[in-house]
Amino acid sequence: MTGARVLVVTGYGINCEEEMCAAFRLAGAMVDQVHLGRLLRGEVGLRPYSVVAFPGGFSFGDDLGAGKVLANRIRSRQLPDGSTLLDRLIGFVDSGGHLLGVCNGFQALVSLGLLPNVAGDYRQEATLAGNLSARFEDRWVKLHAHPNAPHSAMSSLGGFDVPIRHGEGRLVFRDETIRQAVVEAHLDCLTYVDAAGNPATAYPDNPNGSDLSCAGLCDPRGRVLGLMPHPEAYLSLYNHYDWPRRLREHPELSEDGDGLRFFRALLSARWEQN
């Protein structure tokens, strides 16, 4: 697990990079924080890294929709050799690298066609629309990881709590064919669930109205993972709003937060697959 090298992208309104860096470091990785502008100018390459992570925030102010401008820069801005950062990200994944996108980062990966990518042609197949509540949701939700998802980190996670903070998190698929392909391949790897552990079809357990109660997606190869909630915001048990009661009822409970367990599983999955 230890020794993986992770690139965490920052700049232009991304604002959860410090939490993301802390999460990977606590999970045992070496982390470099790199401004998106340096990647877009070709000053930093991806070859030394095992994971490239896009944190949450409000990239470019989200003025044209969640993650849209960030995705357009990555897709269209030419590097000195004539390629784009999207070309390099695709090559990175093809060579065994892993991508992670959280909240705004997830929105960008979906806009780039990196998720769910059921057809394998990197065309956009889904979008993150405005929450059905018509408001920004900032609170805790319950998730369940699908053990049969292609991303092997899901096999050990089970159910866990995690914070959310987003206004545009409602996952919508382009058509029924893509939706069905996602279901059949278990790419809907993280599900909003209610207190009983059942898929949450209604507000507030499903905070945004996402199709399939989906909180996160992976690609068919299990190398690209994105989710709307923020595991990097729950690295310690004491981050949880209900930690005193939890600790009283379960004195043996680990002081690690569920989010740290998520990042440890992510790094373990990387080593298992490559």
The residues annotated as belonging to the active site are 103, 230, 232
Integer Cα distance of 64 and 104 in angstroms: 13
Report yes or no: 62 and 14 within 8 Å, Cβ to Cβ: no
Which one-letter amino acid corresponds to residue 249?
E
- CA–chain centroid gap for 182, Å, is 16
Residues 6+ apart with CB under 8 A from 84: 74, 75, 76, 77, 78
Residues 6+ apart with CB under 8 A from 18: none
Integer Cα distance of 22 and 16 in angstroms: 10
- Residue 124, exposed/middle/buried by CB under 10 A (0-12, 13-18, 19+)? middle
φ, ψ of residue 224 in degrees (nearest 5)? -120, 130
